């Protein structure tokens, strides 16, 4: 959509490609510092502690979700939502730059303070990132029509995947040739640059006119805004069922940071991390055309249900690898296959989730609905810590078994959601 225009941008229009390009640049940057591979590997290197590894993933998800209820309150009544996006987008790029500086200056091997400082800056990054989602979803929903959103997101992830493959190759090269923390410092620096480029590109789209808030909404205080969110939870069955599926999705994702721990305990070195990141990126890249076409042709819920069944594959593979005690020449390819599937399924879930959330949100209340949903979903962000407890008290295999079980339970809720839509 052209700035000031009321007509949605079509597939192939300038705004379509700018938003896809901005998303691709961010995808490349975030992939370079992926929490389930790069950050998990870095934290494991700095601390050797499963709780710290689980905390890094939990912090990222909690920080992304928790601020959104506050942002949505202010954004719902605001005539312009792009300033909120700009604060979050440029702020998170700055946080990643600070982490790069920390790692560049830290001694190697590092003392405990480096791990603590990293987690502190990572927490700041996560919560600043949480400012972005509400204005991004709202602007995207007003600019890109529903019928081409999945294709736009697929192009976003495809472009991001191509760039992320380069980032993975760079990470592998750096980890193989540089001191470990120096290599990670360069990786975070590249990620920060990509995020700055992404922010500039998205802001250049401009912002279409936002719907005027209803008089009652414009005057309501934050307490009333929260009460309205509880009312939505009680009255909107579709919203409620989708929230429950998302909680179970969080339970399935509790295994993600522990694939790297399993790889390390099986004998893979940190220098192999770039290869695993590349495999994950290749999986996301190869699958994007499938997810985009499936989401637009058959609906976002069908996409989510299909991806939900396939999400059982990575934890099952991880459990099998640990049980079989594979020889060194087979171990790396086996984990590469695991991360290939992980990358494909993360993207499929992201495309389906965002598309369905936009569809279920009323046009005039999209910021509020996004805020309500993500705030209510935020407790699920702590589930990787539950994974750490299970890994510590039982085993990594038990973590993967729980992930499979919750994926099965999620299918029952998807079936109920489909039945509600049919009715």
Please give the class, per CATH, of domain 14-205+217-422. Answer: mainly alpha
| DSSP secondary structure string for all residues of 286-308 | HHHHHHHHHHHHH-HHHHHHHHH
Give the separation between CA 296 and CA 82, rounded to whole angstroms: 27
Is cis: bond before 179, omega within 30 of 0? no
What pLDDT, on the 0 to 100 scale, is given for residue 4? 43
Question: pLDDT at residue 3 above 50?
Answer: no
Question: pLDDT at residue 220 above 80?
Answer: no
Banded model confidence at residue 91, pLDDT cuts 50, 70, 90: very high
User: Exposed, middle or buried by CB within 10 Å (0-12, 13-18, 19+), for 217?
Assistant: middle
Report helix, strand or coil for 179: coil
- What does the pLDDT look like over 240-290, one tens digit per residue? 999 999 888 877 778 988 999 999 999 998 889 999 999 998 988 888 788
What pLDDT, on the 0 to 100 scale, is given for residue 392? 92
Q: Averaged over 357-370, what is the pLDDT?
A: 79
Domain ranges, ordered by start, for the chain: 14-205+217-422
Banded model confidence at residue 398, pLDDT cuts 50, 70, 90: very high
- What does the pLDDT look like over 289-345, one tens digit per residue? 888 788 878 888 999 999 999 999 999 999 999 999 888 889 999 999 999 999 899
Report helix, strand or coil for 25: helix
Give the separation between CA 233 and CA 373, rounded to whole angstroms: 9
Lowest model confidence (mean pLDDT) among 150-159, 222-231, 322-331: 150-159
Residues with Cβ within 8 Å of residue 357, at least 6 apart in sequence: 137, 242, 369, 370, 373
Give the separation between CA 239 and CA 247, rounded to whole angstroms: 13
- What does the pLDDT look like over 379-391, one tens digit per residue? 888 888 889 999 9
What pLDDT, on the 0 to 100 scale, is given for residue 218? 54
Question: pLDDT at residue 6 above 80?
Answer: no
4: left (phi over 0), alpha (psi -120 to 50) or beta: left
Distance set, CA 359 to CA 149, 162, 317, 341 (Å)? 10, 28, 34, 27
Lowest model confidence (mean pLDDT) among 57-61, 95-99, 381-385: 381-385
Q: Report angle CA 58, 151, 81 to the nearest 5 degrees.
A: 60
Give percent above pLDDT 70 in the chain. 94
Q: Classify residue 78 by its DSSP letter.
A: -
Question: pLDDT at residue 210 above 80?
Answer: no
Distance set, CA 60 to CA 14, 146, 153, 180, 322 (Å)? 32, 28, 21, 23, 27
Q: Averaged over 95-112, what is the pLDDT?
A: 92
Tokens of 270: 């940190």
Report helix, strand or coil for 176: helix
Question: pLDDT at residue 8 above 70?
Answer: no
- What does the pLDDT look like over 117-141, one tens digit per residue? 999 999 999 999 999 988 998 888 8
């Amino acid at each position: 959509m052209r700035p000031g225009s009321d007509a949605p941008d079509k597939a192939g229009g300038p705004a379509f490609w700018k938003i896809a390009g901005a998303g691709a640049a961010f995808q490349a940057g975030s992939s370079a510092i992926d929490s389930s591979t790069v950050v998990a590997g870095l934290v494991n290197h700095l601390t050797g502690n499963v709780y710290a590894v689980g905390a890094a993933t939990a912090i990222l998800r909690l920080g992304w979700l928790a601020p959104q209820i506050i942002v949505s309150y202010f954004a719902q009544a605001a005539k312009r939502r792009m300033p909120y996006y700009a604060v979050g987008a440029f702020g998170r790029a700055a946080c990643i730059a600070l982490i790069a500086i920390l790692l560049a200056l830290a001694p190697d091997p590092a003392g405990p303070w480096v791990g603590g400082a990293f987690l502190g800056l990572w927490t700041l990054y996560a919560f600043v990132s949480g400012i972005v989602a509400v204005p991004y979803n709202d602007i995207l929903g007003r600019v890109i029509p529903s019928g081409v959103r999945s294709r736009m997101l697929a192009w976003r992830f495809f472009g991001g995947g191509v760039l992320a493959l380069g980032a993975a190759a760079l990470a592998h090269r750096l980890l193989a040739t540089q001191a470990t923390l120096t290599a990670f410092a360069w990786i975070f620096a590249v990620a920060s640059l990509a995020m700055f480029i992404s922010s500039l590109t998205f802001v250049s789209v401009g912002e279409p006119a936002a719907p005027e808030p209803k008089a009652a909404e414009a005057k309501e205080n934050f307490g009333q805004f929260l009460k309205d969110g509880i009312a939505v939870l009680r009255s909107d069955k579709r919203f409620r069922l989708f929230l429950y599926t998302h909680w179970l999705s969080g339970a399935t994702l509790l295994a993600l940071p522990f694939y790297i721990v399993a790889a390390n305990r099986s004998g893979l070195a940190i220098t192999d991390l770039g290869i695993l990141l590349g495999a994950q990126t290749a999986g996301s890249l190869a699958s994007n055309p499938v997810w985009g076409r499936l989401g637009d042709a058959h609906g976002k819920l069908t996409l989510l249900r299909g991806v939900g069944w396939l999400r059982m594959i990575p934890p099952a593979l991880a459990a099998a690898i640990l049980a079989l005690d594979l020889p060194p020449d087979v171990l790396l390819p086996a984990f590469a296959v695991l991360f290939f599937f992980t990358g494909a399924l993360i993207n499929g879930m992201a495309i389906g989730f965002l598309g369905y959330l936009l569809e279920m949100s009323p046009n005039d209340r999209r910021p509020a609905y996004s805020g309500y949903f993500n705030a209510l979903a935020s407790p699920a962000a702590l589930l990787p810590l539950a994974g750490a407890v299970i890994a510590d008290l039982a085993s990594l295999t038990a973590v993967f078994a729980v992930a499979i079980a919750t994926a099965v339970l999620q299918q029952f809720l998807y079936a109920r959601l489909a039945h509600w839509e049919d009715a």
